[in-house]
Chain A
Amino acid sequence: MIDTSRFPATNAIGDFIRATLPGPAAELTNIVLAVLAILTVVGLTPVALIWMERKVAAHFQARLGPMRVGYHGLLQPLADGIKLIFKEVMKPEGADTFVFFLAPILSATASFMVLTVIPFDHHLQVTDLAGGVLYVIAVAGLGIMGVLLAGWSSNNKYSLLGAMRSGAQMISYEISLALLMLLIVLLSGTASLREIVFSQAGTVLDWWIFKFPLFGLVAFVLFLISSTAELNRAPFDMAEAESELTGGFTTEYSGISFAMFFLAEFVNMFMAASLTTTFFLGGFLAPQFGLAPLDRVLDAIPGFLWFFLKSYSVIFIYMWFRWTFPRPRVDQLMNLEWKVLVPANFFLLLVAGLFVAMGLV
């Protein structure tokens, strides 16, 4: 078992505030600071991801991508952002004004809320809920609300079709995701995200992707597929499907309300990647190979850097998917979920149960 005293749950800034301010005031200050920190992550993630997506797409397509704004287009997301903010916000005739403008905010909020339980490092986690996995499943589901309401309130048939597709799709794939999370909970014996990370301490082979022999790898691939569908990302972007539904649920959105959906999409992608990292790739733990000198060097690198490195590698896989595959049809996607993924997940759960019962993991 791992020595958790090496990984204190509190950080220096929090300790300093607790030492200088009286009890309740210190707690309040810490909460405000934590929320601000998460907001910063939410704010900066899309900036990094927009640039990354455009560059990755460009290089997959044998071109350079943005090169003009800043060094290798590094300031391009800023230009994109400014453009979106200053665009006119339009509302179609007959749209439900309140719901129409509420929907993008709901979407962005849901993805923001999940990040509060993600352990970015052993001392960088807003709160460690004992039922963290349950919280993730519950809150991530809220994102569907935004999409459904957007499609419904737009007063546009394409938007409605997109929203209905995405509603069906996200609810279905939530099941696979929940089953896969349950698998990890079963294997690690805890539902706290922090504890799940600690259950993977040791060498690289102790990460759940390898520790649960072969099946871990299968579970990892299934998680990638399910989360791509859950994210509404190409090749499973039926909700947008620009060649079929023009823009899907975002057809009627413009300016800052479109930017909110855009932001939610990228933050969601980061969220899914960080969950993958936490569940399968050892979270913030440095990879250890059982070679003492190398391990010491790797261990000296701060955990949050490892966390971001792992998450962005997973995000690269999502982008790889998007710029390679055509899009299946919406009913074929449902077939994949109900006829392949759900049975496969139940089988994995069964195998995991046997492994745990026999004490093999």
Chain B
Amino acid sequence: MTEQQAGLADDILENGVAMTVPPGFSIDRRERHTDEYFLNMGPQHPSTHGVLRLMLRMDGENVLEVVPHLGYIHRGLEKIGENQTYLQNIHLTDRLDYLSSHMNNLALCLAIEKAMGIGVPERAEYIRVMVCELQRIQSHLLWWGVLGMDLGAITSFLYGFKEREMITDIFEEMCGARLTMNFFRPGGSFADVPDTFIPRVRAVIEKMKTAIDEYDTLLTNNVIMHLRTKGIGVLPAKTALAHGCSGPVLRGSGVALDVRRSDPYSIYHRFSFDIPVGTVGDCFDRYKVRMEEMRQSLRILEAAAASFPGGPYRSKKYASYNLPAGSYYSQVETARGLLGVYIEADGGPKPHRIKYRSPSFANLSALNDLAVGHKLADLVPIIATLDVLIPDIDR
């Protein structure tokens, strides 16, 4: 079936020749120039971080319009969720933003706890905060390495992974998984952390303190890096809010919105940390915000490790988690921004409807505003600093 038959494409006549305009472009037919062309970037492209497909309207190297095409790894997680119990849904949230799987687990657990009034022991709260902050660092390390690679500095990729491996090892020892964790449960976590947890976290803190300075030397203070990111992809705060951006993308534009501070969950209100914000809203600001977030996460980790309590790691377990009929919402700050979980419960063991508000989807919607007027090469740092994750968008 051609695109035309599918009702997707739109043919226009130009100098008597039929030209196919891909769907989604706001193109003015009368003013169309002949030297414009369409470029298909993705779904297999090295810097679209997975299977994001972008259709670009180009004039030479200049980007005139960007239309993202989504759905290449749509798995229908929300629909599948309707046929799974609440506990089974936790492992599905791993597959949203796989670099923030602990935080995704937490978002669902918070909603279940809120609905059923389940309390969480002190030790479990500490485990939650520490594990989430470790994962924020882990996720930002991967982002940092990949950003460097996208800009052509492949060495940074391996430097980022070197420290990331330490954190992944902690997770592997803790829950057996390195990527899709499925660790948190309503009322705590499925297992206690091993005795080596705190010493290993301390080792990560020590290592990261020098490592971040090393990253600054390698990439942050590089003049070519400044050339490529300063003034590129400027996102004004108003536009960012209009698109529903959140996380480092929004904070890079100067809006100090962080769910950990504005709507504290778990025990985040006990820890002091700064919310880094940018001033201009360009790629470099988003970069600086994430680098600073790693330092702030280390602060939280250090304070939590110093007062890590004993006691039970989980409150009472239930045979079946039957949420009372009603609707429940919870939100957390993942490494990419605000993740919201909305559950419509009918009193049974399975949700009637479950909806995830994923940060990457909203952040990606700002792409066209950021990219227009820049060069093709600028798309790469723009996508990289939006830090979109395709499974989080497609769900």
Contacts and interface: CB of A to CB of B under 8 A. Distances in A.
Interface of A: 57, 60-63, 157-158, 161, 165, 234-235, 237-238, 241-246, 323-332
A328 B224 contact: yes
B384 to A, nearest CB: 9
A159 to B, nearest CB: 12
Given A244-B379, A327-B152, 14 more contacts: A60-B155, A165-B61, A235-B153, A243-B47, A245-B376, A323-B155, A324-B218, A325-B153, A325-B224, A326-B219, A327-B151, A327-B228, A329-B227, A331-B375
B377 A330 contact: yes
Contact of B151 (A158, A243, A246, A332): A243
B380 interface: yes
B376 A244 contact: yes
B267 interface: no
A63 B157 CA distance: 12
B208 to A, nearest CB: 16
Contacts of A243: 46-47, 149-152, 380
Nearest to A165: B61
Nearest to B148: A326
Nearest to A236: B152
Interface of B: 37, 39, 45-47, 61, 148-155, 158-159, 162, 218-219, 222, 224-225, 227-228, 375-380
A157 B219 CA distance: 31
A234 B153 CA distance: 9
Contacts of B153: 235, 324-327
Contacts of B224: 235, 325-328
A132 B376 CA distance: 40
Contacts of B380: 243-244
A44 to B, nearest CB: 27
Contacts of A238: 377
A244 B380 CA distance: 7
A153 B181 CA distance: 49
A61 to B, nearest CB: 4
B151 A323 contact: no
A329 B377 contact: yes
A81 B213 CA distance: 40
A154 B154 CA distance: 27
A323 B152 contact: no
Nearest to B150: A243
A157 B225 contact: no
Contacts of B378: 329
Contact of A62 (B47, B162, B219): B162
Contacts of B228: 326-329
Nearest to A332: B227
A326 B151 contact: yes
A212 to B, nearest CB: 27
B154 A246 contact: no
Contacts of B150: 243
Contact of A161 (B61, B152, B162): B61
Nearest to A336: B227
A323 B37 CA distance: 34
Contacts of A331: 61, 375
Contacts of A244: 47, 376-377, 379-380
Nearest to A242: B46
A332 B378 CA distance: 12
Contacts of A158: 39
Contacts of B45: 246
Contacts of B149: 243
Nearest to A58: B158
13 contacts: A57-B154, A60-B155, A61-B159, A157-B39, A235-B153, A235-B224, A243-B150, A244-B47, A326-B228, A327-B153, A327-B224, A327-B228, A328-B224
A238 B222 CA distance: 18
B159 to A, nearest CB: 7
Nearest to B219: A326
Contact of A61 (B151, B158, B222): B158
Contacts of B375: 329-331
Contacts of B152: 234-235, 237, 241, 243, 325-327
B46 A246 contact: yes
Contacts of A61: 154-155, 158-159
